[in-house]
Homo-oligomer: A and B are copies of this chain.
Amino acid sequence: MSDPFVIVGGDAAGMSAASKAKREDPDREVIVLERGEWVSYGACGLPYYVKGEIDDLEDLVAIPAERFREERDIDLRTGHEVTAIDPEARTVTVSPTDGEPYQESYDDLLIATGARALDPPIEGRDHEGVFSLQTMDAGREIRAFVESTDDLDSVAVVGGGYVGIEMAEAFDAHDLDVSLFEMREHVLPPFGPSVGDRVAAELRDNGVTVHTDTRVERIAGDDRVTGIETEDETHDADAVLLAAGVEPRTELASEAGIEIGPTGAIATDADGHTSHDGIYAAGDCTEATHTVTGDPAHVPLALTANRAGRAIGSTVGGDPIPVGEIAGTAVLKAFDLAAGRTGVIDEERAREAGFDPASVTITAPSRAHYYPGGDDIEITLLGDRESGRVLGASMVGTEGVAKRLDTVATALHEDLTAQELSYLDLSYAPPFSPTWDPVLTAGKVLASTLE
């Protein structure tokens, strides 16, 4: 019998790989080494837990550790940190919370170490009342703080990405005065300016103060936080959430000599293989191939991690599956609004990738013009003049945004032209769409612009 399949990290990518490998090859020994206590959890649900829409932190766990151990026969070791990889000896050094370090041999190894919240070098970040939404325990701590601190009136959120926006809504639900600070010109930079501005307007309509183009210089306070200092002003704040983005955890890999890619995440091939024989990487620590540009991209999102983990588990288990390309498809809810993006939507980025881009923005109703309810959807489509291809889309609206993105994501996967996109046979009934779905309308307008 071969040496085990060893997995470093027990969240989405790691546990997907473990489960799939066991299904494909039940006799194979699968060991998961997770330094924390939580496994297979939906960190994406943390803002809704803090908001209070989800009662129990355990509800975010997709599958409890016992079930992996008992039902799936996976040797899942929580409280076991991997501190080194020796690719020559095919061993990892394991440091248990309770116990002596030891070596574990592997035949195949998966690095699924995830990402960490960026720790911006802001003075005062150690004050009491400053948080980041790094972990499940951090989520619990923030909710407890919000629910138990009597004199809590105001919260400052530093960073206008997904987490910042979702957490602004979460804090707002606790009747706190929420201010959000984004250093770039608009919130949600990867979604483009028109979606960013629309989301900022939605936040403001719901009472959140939004500061764009504003760099936070210092967190004021002595022991406990009292405010946020920007270049020009000081804003009161009884608590601060740092949500400046994430970076891949690559130290373990790079110290073992495993190649790091141009994005700063671990480089992998189409099968999730790293530069070293028998060593795979998946999830937020890893690059993936962008389906539009063909270049490596680092988009640390849940589906990418789940897909790649599952594919590597299948490959290791004897049924090779590629990890799949990514389109950078993302969507988020901001109060009543949904905002999403897929592919390449930035013209400069498209030019860098060798395209000759042109974009159109249309507004179309989510239902037939005569059918009550519904709302306008704004769609921006980017295309390539030379090939006629669709390169990406952003969308924003209160109804039917998230799954309309999927049509474009599928089209991107297949290199559809704007004309082809506009002639797809999409679903229509008055309560769900105009006859020409907004995606088709956007495709028509883009096709004539690219001509």
A residues within 8 Å of B by Cβ?
A: 12, 42, 44-45, 48, 53-54, 59-60, 62, 291, 301-304, 306-307, 311, 321-322, 324-333, 338, 340, 342, 368-372, 400, 402-407, 409-411, 413-414, 416, 419-420, 423-433, 435-437, 439-440
Which residues of B sit under 8 angstroms from A424, Cβ to Cβ? 324, 406, 409-410, 413
Which residues of B sit under 8 angstroms from A329, Cβ to Cβ? 425-428
Whether A302 touches B427, Cβ cut-off 8 Å, given contacts A370-B59, A411-B410, A416-B414, is: no
Q: What is the bound-complex CA distance between A301 and B416, given in angstroms? A: 24
Which residues of B sit under 8 angstroms from A44, Cβ to Cβ? 368, 428-430, 435
Q: What is the bound-complex CA distance between A411 and B411, given in angstroms? A: 8
Contact, CB under 8 Å: B331 / A428: yes
Contact, CB under 8 Å: A403 / B432: yes
Whether A371 touches B53, Cβ cut-off 8 Å, given contacts A406-B407, A431-B333, is: yes
Q: Contact check: which of B321, B409, B435 meets A306 at CB < 8 Å?
A: B435
Q: What is the bound-complex CA distance between A414 and B421, given in angstroms? A: 11
Q: Contact check: which of B42, B53, B429 meets A333 at CB < 8 Å?
A: B429
Contact, CB under 8 Å: B404 / A406: yes
Contact, CB under 8 Å: A53 / B338: no
Q: Contact check: which of B53, B411, B435 meets A303 at CB < 8 Å?
A: B435
The list of the 8 closest CB pairs from A to B, nearest first, reads A402-B432, A324-B423, A403-B403, A414-B414, A331-B427, A410-B410, A327-B425, A59-B370
Q: Contact check: which of B303, B433, B439 meets A402 at CB < 8 Å?
A: B433
Q: What is the bound-complex CA distance between A326 and B426, given in angstroms? A: 9
Q: What is the bound-complex CA distance between A303 and B311, given in angstroms? A: 38
Which residues of B sit under 8 angstroms from A331, Cβ to Cβ? 427-429, 432
Tallying the copies of this chain within the complex gives 2
Q: What is the bound-complex CA distance between A340 and B428, given in angstroms? A: 10
Q: Contact check: which of B42, B53, B423 meets A322 at CB < 8 Å?
A: B423
Q: What is the bound-complex CA distance between A427 and B340, given in angstroms? A: 8
Contact, CB under 8 Å: A432 / B338: yes
Contact, CB under 8 Å: B53 / A439: no
What are 17 A-B contacts defined by CB distance under 8 Å? A42-B370, A42-B435, A44-B368, A301-B428, A303-B440, A306-B436, A324-B423, A324-B425, A333-B429, A402-B429, A402-B433, A403-B406, A403-B433, A405-B426, A409-B425, A410-B411, A414-B416
Q: What is the bound-complex CA distance between A402 and B427, given in angstroms? A: 6
Contact, CB under 8 Å: B369 / A332: no
Q: Closest B-chain residue to A324, C-beta based?
A: B423
Shortest distance in angstroms between A197's beta carbon and chain B's nearest beta carbon?
20
Q: Closest B-chain residue to A302, C-beta based?
A: B435
Whether A303 touches B430, Cβ cut-off 8 Å, given contacts A53-B371, A368-B44, A371-B48, is: no
Shortest distance in angstroms between A9's beta carbon and chain B's nearest beta carbon?
16
Contact, CB under 8 Å: A407 / B403: yes
Shortest distance in angstroms between A343's beta carbon and chain B's nearest beta carbon?
9
Q: What is the bound-complex CA distance between A16 and B266, given in angstroms? A: 52
Shortest distance in angstroms between A326's beta carbon and chain B's nearest beta carbon?
5
Q: What is the bound-complex CA distance between A371 and B42, given in angstroms? A: 11
Whether A45 touches B342, Cβ cut-off 8 Å, given contacts A302-B435, A403-B407, is: no
